[in-house]
Amino acid sequence: MKLHPLNLSLVLATALVAASGAQAQSLLQIYQEAKGHDATYAAAKAQSEATAAKAAQAKAALLPTLGMSFSQTKNEVDRPSGIALADYTNKSAGLSLTQPIFSASNWATYKQGEQSLQLSATQLLVAEQELILRVSQAYFDVLTTAEALTSVQAQKKAVSEQLASAKRNFEVGTATIVDTREAEASYDRVISLELSAENDLRTKKLALDQLAGKTNLQPAPLNLKSALTAPQPQDVEAWVKQALENNTTLQQLRVAHEVAKLDTDKAKAGHLPTLELSAKYGETRCSGTAGTLCSPNDAKSLGLTLNIPLFAGFAVQNRVKETVSLQEKTRAELEAAERTVDQNTRSAYFGLLTGLSQVKALVASETSSQSVVDATKLGYQVGVKTNLDVLNSQTQLFQTKRDLAKARYDVLQGQLKLRQAAGVLKAEDVQSINDLLQK
């Protein structure tokens, strides 16, 4: 059987799609690749580790410090006339131990370190959630543009067939040259759309490849038999409650507020006494002709040191005023962020519901548009519809197909965004989306 060139191209395209599908990468696979490659995530991870290390430093102010000293001194002493010089070497070594017993400032610093540990964990979670969204968005962008290109190519095939039909009808005298010109204009427009779609797909694939550190990635498309479900629970107030408890932005601001309160405690500690224990042990040894000029000895000491601040030029009072104002600033920022999170969570929830409704409506519209195309073609054949009517109905059908493909992937992305807003987005959610893709 001899294939028409157009049909041969379609066969080749189908074969390429099948070959790419066999090597398609899932969303979970590409996310795991990106997690090991993405520089932004690596930087956030390093920052989290640095924050944790800095937190451990704060504990040092409560622990004892131990030091060792050693010295050696050579001495020459002038004696009365006729008596030889006295030369000797003085060697000494010692240990010193200091243990803070009471310091309100050191204790506040230690508590700030504990807060920083919590902050480091939250920072890493933020970076992970942002990476999930960036990878999924890039992944769905490739699939959306690929669907758009496929739709445009199908539209080009349909317009090409309509153009051929218009030319045949003109040749036999059943149609005017207007039909042919309209079909040619539509074909030229579709060619332009195809070029734009090809470039868009190329750009989106480069972005995904760069994010994962791989080349020529082939994302697995959505399995159209997979059901897109509504968010659970189906209660916006429940999602807002989760967000106000778990949202990562709010967690970081709460830590910042606690640290600011501890800064005030540290500032107030400037008025409080400090008490520390100190212990020292030292040995002195002599060598040479020192005589009575140097005698070996051992020295031991144990004591308590109490420091009571009396006046520091109003520095402490002004420092307290500063920290109280900064504490109020963090409280106001936290309150503003809570309102923003509340709004964003509601927007994400209702946006997801709207997206699901749009998918349902577009599925129905696709069926209706296909019926319109079939009816218009039949009407054109019997002379009650024009060629332009057919071309317009085809354009509407393929635009609906593109909108439907985009709406489906927007719903998947919307599910992840809602969970991020609620502060509960985890890598396990990537697997849930992964289960909806073609195997």
Taking the CA atoms of 139, 141, 147 and 153 in sequence, report the sign of the dihedral they define: negative
- Assess whether pLDDT exceeds 90 at residue 58: no
Is 40's pLDDT higher than 90? yes
Q: How far apart are alpha carbons 131 and 128 in whole angstroms? A: 5
- What are the Cα distances from residue 346, in Å, to 42, 119, 308, 422? 31, 26, 55, 10
CB 183 within 8 A of CB 159: yes
Torsion over CA of 135, 138, 141 and 142, rounded to 10 degrees? -100
Neighbours of 32 (CB within 10 A): 16
Mean pLDDT of 68-72: 91
Over 90: is that where the pLDDT of 334 sits? yes
What pLDDT was estimated at residue 435?
93
pLDDT of 164 > 70? The answer is: yes
Per-residue pLDDT at 12: 37
Q: Is the pLDDT of residue 83 over 70?
A: no
pLDDT grade, residue 84 (50/70/90)? Answer: low
pLDDT range class, residue 382, cuts 50, 70, 90 = confident
| Contact in structure between 306 and 273 (CB atoms under 8 Å) | yes
Q: Are 276 and 98 in contact (CB under 8 A)?
A: yes
9 pLDDT higher than 70? no
The mean pLDDT value of the chain amounts to 89
- Tell me what the mean pLDDT of segment 229-248 comes to: 95
> What average pLDDT does the segment 94-108 reach?
93
**Taking 70 as the threshold, does the pLDDT of residue 14 lie above it?**
no
Is residue 127 predicted with pLDDT exceeding 60? yes
Q: Which residue has the higher pLDDT, 175 or 238?
A: 238
Contact 250, 334 (CB under 8 A): yes
Q: Which domains does the chain have, with CATH numbers?
A: 5-37+103-272+312-434 (1.20.1600.10), 65-102+273-308 (2.20.200)
Q: How many CA atoms lie within 13 A of 22 on its CB side?
A: 5
Each residue of 221-237: pLDDT tens digit? 999 999 999 999 999 99
Q: Which of 96-110, 150-164, 249-263, 377-391 has the lowest mean pLDDT?
A: 377-391
Confidence band of 289 (pLDDT split at 50, 70, 90):
low
Residue 2 has pLDDT above 60, yes or no: no
Nearest to 309 by CA among 104, 98, 101, 163: 104
Closest CA to 145 of 205, 102, 190: 205
